[in-house]
Structure 1
């Protein structure tokens, strides 16, 4: 009886652990806070200018029967989901899922993004260059397939850019700040009405 009770408790523990873990789906868009040493100035600027912990993002896909994340981190690449999550600060992950009516676009979106594999990271965050940054990869892939934007483009002057003037000047190689430059930030991508946050599970759904 004691043995059966132990087995039962272990089974319950495994079930609870599974329920309390992120359950990925093909096409989920995931966000993380990059470790500051990875690119301290850039990470601080992205998070500080947007007032959000999201400094990086990618899309979860099935590749060769395994969960991968396609991302633009320099260069555009695919990385195992487990390794992607482990890289984030505190191994924390946020996941957003496209609404059901948009899921039909995901296969073609993945094909479009794969065309960018190997492209270098765009440290200047321009939408009109061959180089590409994380949220731009997803934004461009979505727009090419659906014909519509994912999230809202913002101009640099709309962000809290002032504390990061020195970083911007160093990146641009000029004292002239491109205040009218349009950017799709991880924060603004996550706020797209086509997406629903699925992890961590919102308290109202627990």
Structure 2
């Protein structure tokens, strides 16, 4: 009887050990979601249409982007209020939109930064905002560009935002670079480049990174 009880305890402990990582992961995700909800609730009254939002993505390529750009910010989107709800328009697979709460919870630790055109009050008139949305709609449904090319056939997150603002307002948010200007020395970056391009890395391709937009003097932080 004692042996049976001991075996039962051992089995129970084994199951608990196996289940703990899953429970811990779920708890972490829940905490992140709660953190994101609180942050969104505080910031929401201060948001404007056309604000840009940045986060640390948890996607497979995020670490390589962070290493290559020396910044934790690896993903971005643009905010519009639709039917009373803040939505993030973004280049994922495919280009689409999601609720602000869901978007922020999806990022690492639920953290994010919101930036706004420094002279938004005079530049982002109702007509300009309409042009901004129209510029974005032409990309809706397009595939995410894993190769970070500059054509409009496929598109990545910061490219979408850069082109929308340039087309709608004539403003260039962030300086364009070439791929060779990034730090490509880390093995994780080299492995990702090898995976994407093989031996034909397009080092002269124009690129706009999330951090170049985030650091642009055209933007100010929304607090």
Q: Same fold (TM over 0.5)?
A: yes
Cα separation, 1, equivalents of 2:39 and 2:75: 26
The answer for the alignment partner of 2:23 in structure 1 is: none
RMSD across aligned positions (CA): 1.9
Whether 1:143 and 2:134 are equivalent positions in the alignment is no
Aligned to 1:204: none
Deviating runs (4+, > 2 A) in structure 1? 17-21, 99-102, 104-107
Correspondence 1:1-206 to 2 at 5 A:
21-23=42-44, 24-35=47-58, 38-39=59-60, 42-98=61-117, 99=119, 100-104=121-125, 105-163=128-186, 164-172=189-197, 174-198=198-222, 201=223
- TM-score w.r.t. length of structure 1: 0.81
Q: 1:157 to 1:132 in 2, by over 3 A?
A: same
CA deviation map 1:99-151 (0-9, x unaligned): 22322223311121022111110001111241000001111111112233221
| 5+ long unaligned stretches in structure 1 | 1-16, 202-206
Q: 1:141 to 1:176 in 2, by over 3 A?
A: same
Residue 124 of structure 2 aligns to a residue whose secondary structure is helix
Question: 1:22 is paired with a residue of what secondary structure?
Answer: helix
TM-score (norm 2): 0.75
User: Where does residue 13 of structure 1 map in the other structure?
Assistant: none
Preserved CA contact (<8 Å) 2:40 2:100: no
Aligned partners of 2:100 and 2:40: how far apart in 1? 18
In structure 2, list runs of 5 or more residues that go unmatched. 1-37
Which one has a larger percent helix, Structure 1 or Structure 2? Answer: 2
- Corresponding pairs, count: 178
Q: Describe the superposition over 1:12-33 as per-residue Cα deviations: whole angstroms up to 9, x where unpaired.
A: xxxxx89992232211100000
